[in-house]
Every structure is written in structure tokens, then in C-alpha cells.
Amino acid sequence: MKPIISIVVPIYNMEAYLPRCLDSLLAQTYPLFEIITVNDGSTDGSLAVLKRYAAADTRVQIIDSVNRGVAAARNLGLASCRGEYIGFVDPDDWVDREMYGEMHAAALEHNADIVMCAYTREFGTHANPKPFPLPDMTFLRGDEVQSGMTRRLIGPIGAETASPEHLDAWGTVWSKLYRSELLKESGIAFEDLSVIGSNEDTLFNVAAFRKASSFLFLNRPYYHYWRANEDSITTRHKPDHLKRFLVQYEKLEEAFGDCPNDAEYRKALSNRVALNVMGLGLNIISHSNPASLKGKLDQIKGLLSQPRMKAALAEFDASASPLVWKLFFTAARLRLALPLYFMLNGIELLRTKKKGRNIRGADSHPAGRDHHEPGRTGNDAHELLPANE
């Protein structure tokens, strides 16, 4: 029987976590689905795990590929989907039994192109649902999708700028169910991280929401996002990160180029650029950056003096932000490299505090990433800081 839902799981060296993920998917109360697993050249026992599950359940399909990175792996899976709706799951995460059944039923009831659920951050010793201050269900149609979601994905405006540590909470792909024809007829695909540096989920969603005519948000934390591993929060230095982010901004501009509210979208993108100072700054102060203290300070000055960053910081309004962020963005706007360096180190300390979490040791490659890509940090602009910090 043809599956109604296709679930794509990109995998690179996830042997330890795959059983938990696959067991949660196979336990779904909704039966008409397929799991498209893409083994992205794993060097551990991931492929053996997949073969074991595929032999036991025909709903598990395997695509065995050479290592090309998470974007290529997801795109391979996307091309093989047969379902009317498509979802994505990262292999160190898991889902509630009723997740896809509830989301599919809601999609049919409201004729929604995209359905999104809330999620829970899992830290090993404790869990925190991600707060979305909305009712149990929110439905948008027509122009509301563009003003309410596409613009928000481009960047925040007004009070939305108050929490830069959660910039892309709406931009994840693994919390959503997409109408298949919406993605396939428009040729929507994931961008290579070697080109854009980060936020491939957000770019994918901007393209999807530009084509969508309806969106439904279920404020129910069906998805479990695994944070209890050191590699998911440790910043690894990437020398060309700023260059790639500038390409990312160009692609976001292309995505909203024909929108009627062009000025609003450009303001939103400008705010995103300003807020990205934190992530780009964390890349500079990373312990894996071989530069000296003076070298890192020079790199921070270079970041703050880059024309696009400088212009965005000059017009960024931090009035809605807490005091700590007002100080941060004042230092950034004035290009005060040394104070910013110390503040960035404070942020990094908060991000890497163990707080009793179970930390993964030997496994150094998180879900679907290969060795040259950022781990979950590449896809984690929505979770730059731990919960409640």
C-alpha cells in the first residue's frame, strides 16, 4: 500500500542513537508511512543498524550514499519520498507516538500545506518544552502565511528581537509536515552548508512558505530534540563563516525579492544580520580558533566593520531587549572588540555548562553532518543558549 507520510532521516555516524529514533517512528499510531533513511557515508555501525531494522519492517527504506553532507542526504531522501506529506527527523531525536497521526489529521481537517508542532529540549537528566506563547492551535491562510510566517522566518521585528538566543525557533524542518506537491512541484531543496554556512532549515522553510497558502501550528510538544551531547553546543571555528553567511543573506533576499512588503522584509533581514553577530562572534572566540587574543580581537573588529554587519548594527533597535542584550549590541555597534570578546566568552560558558547533563564522549559527528560541517550548531540558531539561561 502506498504510504501517505514519508519521513526522511539523514544519518552520519549515529549508531548509538538510531534505535531510539527508529523505534519511536515505528511506534507511530498512524500506520501508513515510510521511513526514508539516508546513510551519508557513515564509518561506524549505522548502516548495520539500518539493515537490521529494514529486514524487520518494510516501512524502513535505505539509501546508502557516499558522504556528501546533511543537505545532500536530505535532498536524496526527499527525491525518493512517495507520500502525500513529508516530514524530517534527525537521528539522535525521537517523536511521540501520536505525532504524525495528529499532524496528518490536522492537515486534512484544515487543508493545510504545512503543519508544525512544538518541541521539547531533552538534556539527558531533564527536559524542557520550548515555550511558544500561542493557543493550542493557530491557523494562517493566504496573505497571513506571508506576513505571519515568511517574514518571521526572514528575521524578527520589534519585540521579536528581544531573544536573539532563539532566533530561528520557527525555522526547524523536523517539527513540520509538508504537503509533498508543495515541495516537489516547486523544486524546493536544501542548500549546501559549505556555501551558506548555517541555517539551511530556515532557507528551506522560507522557500516552502513562499509557496504555501495555508499553515497550521499545533502548540503540542510532539518532537523531542536531543541536546545532551557536548558536540551539539560546542563551537568549532570555521574561518570562512562570515563569507558564507553573506551568501546566505543574498539567498534570503532572492527569496523575498517579489514580496509586496519589501521594506518590512528588508528590515527583518537587517535585524537578522545584526543578531547574527552573536553566532559569528562565538565562531571567532572558539577555542579551536588558532589565533592569539590579539588576532581574535582583530577578527571581531573585522566582523563589526564589514559593511553589511556595520549597517545592520547601526539601524538595529535593541529597545525591546533585556539589559544584557542592550549592552551587547551597544558594544557591537560601537565596535568595542574587547568588551564584546568578554561577553561572547560569557555566552559560550553558558552554552557549554554541563549542569548535570549526560554528555556524549567519543561520538564526534552529530546527526546527518559530515566532518567539515558544523554539528548541530549549524542548525541551532534557535537554541544558541540552554533552556532558561
Model pLDDT, residue 259: 67
Specify which residues 178 forms β-bridges with.
86, 114
Element (H, E) at 176: strand 176-179
Contact 266, 153 (CB under 8 A): no
Q: Are strands 60-65 and 33-40 parallel, antiparallel or unpaired?
A: parallel
Percent of the chain at pLDDT above 70?
A: 87
Average pLDDT over residues 304-329: 95
The pLDDT of residue 370? 45
Strand ranges for 24-150 from DSSP E: 33-40, 60-65, 85-88, 94-95, 114-122, 127-129, 137-141
Dist. CA 265–CA 271, nearest whole Å: 10
Round to whole Å and give the CA distance between 224 and 296: 36
- Rounded to the nearest integer, the mean pLDDT of the chain is 88
What proportions of the chain, in percent to the nearest 5, are helix, strand and coil? 45, 15, 35
User: Residue 275 to residues 81, 181, 203, 218, 357: CA-CA distances in angstroms?
Assistant: 36, 34, 17, 27, 28
Model confidence over 198-217: pLDDT tens digits? 889 999 999 999 999 999 99
Helical packing angle, 337-352 and 323-333, nearest 10°: 140
Q: pTM of the predicted model, to two decimals? A: 0.89
Summarize pLDDT for 34-85 with one digit per residue, the tens: 999 999 999 999 999 999 999 999 999 999 999 999 999 999 999 999 999 9
Query: Is pLDDT at 156 greater than 80 in this prediction?
Result: yes
Going by pLDDT thresholds of 50, 70 and 90, the confidence category of residue 229 is: low
All cell numbers assigned to 262: 519589501
Q: Which residues pair with 6 in a beta bridge?
A: 34, 86
pLDDT number for residue 123: 85
Q: What CATH homologous superfamily does 1-383 map to?
A: Spore Coat Polysaccharide Biosynthesis Protein SpsA; Chain A (3.90.550.10)
